[in-house]
Structures are given as C-alpha cells and as structure tokens.
Structure 1
Amino acid sequence: MRTRTEDRDSCLVLKSSVGVHKVHMSEIIYIEALNRKIIYYLRNNSQITCVEKFASVCDQLLQHPEFLLAHRSFLVNMNYIRRIDAADLYLANGKCLPLAQRRISEIKRLYLAFQMEESI
C-alpha cells in the first residue's frame, strides 16, 4: 500500500492557465522547453503547458532514475523510449526527439544501465 508521502513523491502538481493538475510521474512521456514554457506530454495523449523554469523542472525530475536529459530542451521518461540511434531517440507515442550530440554516448550508457536495472 502506498503511503501519502510516497504518493506525493511520485506526483507533480502543475499549474497551468486552465488550473492545477496532479500528474503521476509515470504518466509523463517527455517534457519540452519551448518559448519560455514547459510542455508536459502525457501517456493519455494530453498536454499540460506551464510557465516555469526548465532548470527547476530538471532539478526535480532528474532525482528520479527514470528521467533523462536527452537534449537541452527535452527531459524524457526512459520507460517510454523504444529506440536510440546515432542522433535521435524514438518514443512509445511515435515521437522522435533529437539527442544532445556531445552526450550521445553518456545518454546510451544511462539508458542501458536503466534497462538493466529494470530487468532485475
């Protein structure tokens, strides 16, 4: 049974122009920084747009092992990565996101380590 603290730790409370949203981290496929806004792309094909600093979102989510900074504008939930090639990563929702060219080997290493940990 999940305690209230664990539930709070696995959720984000997001403020958008239409209201306040409680989102489980497992529902987030990826997050994009675009024009000083943050767009959360969710598993149910919905999006939540917030005005906040991408750096603070990264600081919070990179503490969780399933999140990876794939590019300066994209934070990805590794549970939704289907494939990584030389320049891009492909997600379960069909999206293709660019990888930071200088970090490709590190990104691949982190993803492989995450997958190995998940399979144990």
Structure 2
Amino acid sequence: MYEIAICDDIQQICEEVYKLVSEELLKRDVDVRIHTYTSGQALLRAGIIFDILFLDIELGRENGLEIAREYPYKKETRIIFLTSHIEEMPNGYKVRAFRFLTKPIEPAHFEEALFSAIRDIEQDKRFTVTDEEGVHIIRSSEIFYLESQQRSTGVRTRERFARLPLSIEEMKKELDMTQFYCPHKSYIVNMDFIRTIDKGVVILKNDEKIKISRLKMKDFKEKFYDYLRSRANGF
C-alpha cells in the first residue's frame, strides 16, 4: 500500500488532487491510502512516513519549502511541489523535490509526476554494504557514486564509504541507468547528486570530483541535461 499526502491551504485544491490521485490509481488497481492536510504543521504532527507528498509552496502564512525542511522523512518521500511561481524551482531541489506542478494543474503533467514517483519508489533498490562499523542497508537513491575495486565495489553515501560484494558491471544491471551514469569505466555516478560539470570532471554535492572520460563528455552532458529536464517536467 502507498501512503500519499496532499497538503494545501485551499480545500478545493486538496479535493482536486485527491480526485486525480484516486482516479489514476483506481484505473490501475493500485492500493493506496490518501491523507489531506490544510496546514504544514498538521502534516508534520501526523508523524507518518509518506511515499509521495503533494505539497503547496504557498501555505497561507506558512512556507511549503520551510515545512519540507522540517519534514523528517525526506529521504523516504517523493515530494511533488504545487506552485504558481516557477522561480521557486531552484529552492525546491534543496529539500529533495521530486517534481514541480504549476497551478492550475495539468492532468497530463500530474499523471507523469505521480507515476514517475511510483516507478522511482519501485526502483529504489536496497543493498547490503559493509564498512568498519559493520553491516548497513542502503537505498540506491542514497548512493552518490560507485567506484570499481578489486573483487568489489566501493559505495559513497552521505554517511559513509562502504563496500558491496558485486562488481561495477553487476551494479549496472541492478541500478536504474536513466538516473545513474558511467562517466568513466571505474565509476558510476548518481545524477541526483551532481552539482556541476566543469573542465572534464563531475563535481558532486559533497564536493568530491570524478573524472569524465574524454570520449564520454558529449554524451554525458546530454544525458545529464536530459535528466534535469525530466525532473522539472511539471513545468
């Protein structure tokens, strides 16, 4: 079952999004529980880990971006912002925004965002890794990059650098390679964590740098910018 939340200070918008979610998922026989909130504080008090959260940026006297910063389950939740102001888009990615939908909501854009989020949840595989502290379970969405090592693969997340007992070629088969890319034969990077591309290197959001193969530079840039456009597909 998917837990989906809708948070908008306008009850009519809550009802509209509720209807869109219900109709789209009912057609596909998807099991879901939908929660609606008209304030960010009510959402936070619920204490529920939502799979998908539709969150208005302008919540009356509240700011949806601030509510998202306070929301403790950002790693587990696909946050889809609702907004009338496209200039807020860059700020949304600071709180792990999955998509943006402009008001009035276009049904086609809504359907794309909803099912992209569901596919993303299904593809967020879990892996068992080890480091000096022991054994950990990580999600593919937490991976900054993977590095080929002898008989294993190094995995960088925000919290640690650990190892997987799989080769980098085996990991390519496990990961969603529309989100991940191989800029060099020894590395796979998660495009969610790329800050910029500069002078033949990928600069990640943790400031680490990974070299891009000269032969892959053009293709990598195209794939990265296509990925960014796909994430902003709500506009």
- TM-score, normalisation: structure 2: 0.45
The equivalent position to 2:171 in structure 1, one of 54, 57, 73, is 57
- Provide the C-alpha distance between the structure 1 equivalents of 2:181 and 2:224, rounded to a whole number of angstroms: 8
Secondary structure of the structure 2 residue equivalent to 1:93: coil
Tell me what 2:126 maps to: 12
Looking at secondary structure, tell me which structure has more helix per residue. Answer: 2
Tell me what 1:47 maps to: 161
Looking at secondary structure, tell me which structure has more strand per residue. Answer: 1
The 4+ residue runs of structure 1 with deviation greater than 4 A are none
Residue identity matched to 2:125? C
CA distance 1:15–1:88, shift in 2 (3 Å)? closer
Whether the 8 Å CA contact 1:37–1:52 is kept in 2: the answer is yes
Number of residue pairs aligned between Structure 1 and Structure 2: 116
Residue identity matched to 1:91? L
The answer to whether structure 1 residue 38 and structure 2 residue 136 are counterparts is no
Whether the 8 Å CA contact 2:146–2:168 is kept in 1: the answer is no
RMSD: 2.2
The answer to whether structure 1 residue 95 and structure 2 residue 180 are counterparts is no
Whether the 8 Å CA contact 1:37–1:51 is kept in 2: the answer is yes
The answer to whether structure 1 residue 76 and structure 2 residue 189 are counterparts is yes
Secondary structure of the structure 1 residue equivalent to 2:196: strand
Whether the 8 Å CA contact 1:14–1:23 is kept in 2: the answer is yes
Q: Which runs of 5+ in 2 are unaligned?
A: 4-30, 32-118
Between Structure 1 and Structure 2, whose CA radius of gyration is higher?
A: 2
- Provide the C-alpha distance between the structure 2 equivalents of 1:91 and 1:50, rounded to a whole number of angstroms: 21
- Provide the C-alpha distance between the structure 1 equivalents of 2:221 and 2:144, rounded to a whole number of angstroms: 18
Whether the 8 Å CA contact 1:80–1:92 is kept in 2: the answer is yes
Identity of aligned residues (%): 19
1:24: how far off?
A: 1.4
Name the structure, 1 or 2, with higher relative contact order (CA <8 Å, separation 6+). Answer: 1
- Provide the C-alpha distance between the structure 2 equivalents of 1:95 and 1:56, rounded to a whole number of angstroms: 24
Q: Which runs of 5+ in 1 are unaligned?
A: none
